[in-house]
Every structure is written in structure tokens, then in C-alpha cells.
Amino acid sequence: MADEKIVDAIISRLNVEKNDIDKYSAEAVTNMIWALGHLGNPKALSPIINVLTAVKARRDMSVETIQKEGLSALGRMGGKDAIYAIISHFSVPNAQEYALAAIKNIGAPASEYLIKVLELDDLLIRENALRALAEIGVKEAVDHVVPLLDDDDVRIAGDAALALAALCAH
């Protein structure tokens, strides 16, 4: 199958284990991720996650385009691994909005994972999980959000109130 050969060829260029991505420009890496995301082959999921993990700690502006396209591709592909990779970017500066858009693209199937991360200690992940649940509008989340009104962190309590209002409006 031609698509299979194309996917394999692109994946071999994004071999993060060999740090090959550093020999390409951010634009080239972004284009490769875009191509993999649009081809939709499940083989591409892990390499895209590996690239996002490799650039996560970098702060230069060129990384933002890689994060944007990588998260968008994961949002199109969906699945448990994609959802967890997207959620992990809820606390990455400059990637939060892209991660929220990707989760929103997955929609209701992401809600069970978003509910699980409400119990984490990471404030940014919890805040963005509440925002995502509110935007997705899965009413089953209400019972998990109500207890957060009593959270020790006032930002979480406030975000819980906003999420509950949005969930009730859906």
C-alpha cells in the first residue's frame, strides 16, 4: 500500500531516539507531522507523541508550530494514548490552547480521562481539564466537578463553578 510506504518514510525521518529531528527545521518537522496526521495511520501516533515529548521542554518560538500541529494531529487521531499526550500539554507554556482545541476535537470520548486528571496535583492540568469538560459539555462530569467547589485552591474552586455553569447550559 502506497500510504503505508509514505507513513514509514516520514516516520523514519522523525526518529526521535536518534535525535534526527534536530537536523530538520521546525517547518519541516511541522509539515511531516501534518502529513502523518492527515494520512491518519495509527502507526503515526507514537512518533508524533515522541516528537511532542522531545520538544516539550524547549522554549523557542519555532517549537510552538510543532506543538500546534502535533496536538492537532493527535486530536484528529484520538484514542487513549493521544488523549493522555494532549492532556500532558495542558501545563506546557504556549501549548495549552492547542491542547484544549485538540481535546475538544476528540469530544466526549476524552471526558473519562479528563475526569481522572481532576485528582492530580498539577494545577494547570486540573484547570484546563475543567475548561475542557465545560467546552465538551458531558453532563456525566457534573458529579465529579461539584466536589471541586470545596478545593483548597481557590482557582480550582472558581473554575469548577464556571465549568458547572457551562455543563448545565449544554
Letter for the amino acid at 120? L
Nearest to 10 by CA among 61, 46, 59, 54: 46
Is residue 15 domain-shared with residue 31, that is, in the same domain? yes
Is residue 89 domain-shared with residue 73, that is, in the same domain? yes
Nearest to 74 by CA among 84, 63, 61, 64: 84
Number of domains in the chain: 2
pLDDT in tens, 139-154: 899 999 999 999 999 9
Range of 118's domain?
Answer: 108-170
Question: What span, in angstroms and rounded, lies between the C-alpha atoms of 96 and 126?
Answer: 12
The CATH number covering residue 112 comes to 1.25.10.10
Q: At CA 52, angle to CA 76 and CA 16, rounded to 5?
A: 120
Is residue 62 domain-shared with residue 132, that is, in the same domain? no
Per-residue cell: 79: 484514542
Q: What confidence category does residue 62 fall into, taking pLDDT thresholds of 50, 70 and 90?
A: confident
Is residue 91 domain-shared with residue 140, that is, in the same domain? no
Q: What confidence category does residue 2 fall into, taking pLDDT thresholds of 50, 70 and 90?
A: low
**Domain end point (choices 81, 106, 131):** 106
Is residue 92 domain-shared with residue 146, that is, in the same domain? no
Is residue 29 domain-shared with residue 17, that is, in the same domain? yes
Question: What span, in angstroms and rounded, lies between the C-alpha atoms of 36 and 45?
Answer: 8
What's the pTM? 0.87
Is residue 55 domain-shared with residue 102, that is, in the same domain? yes
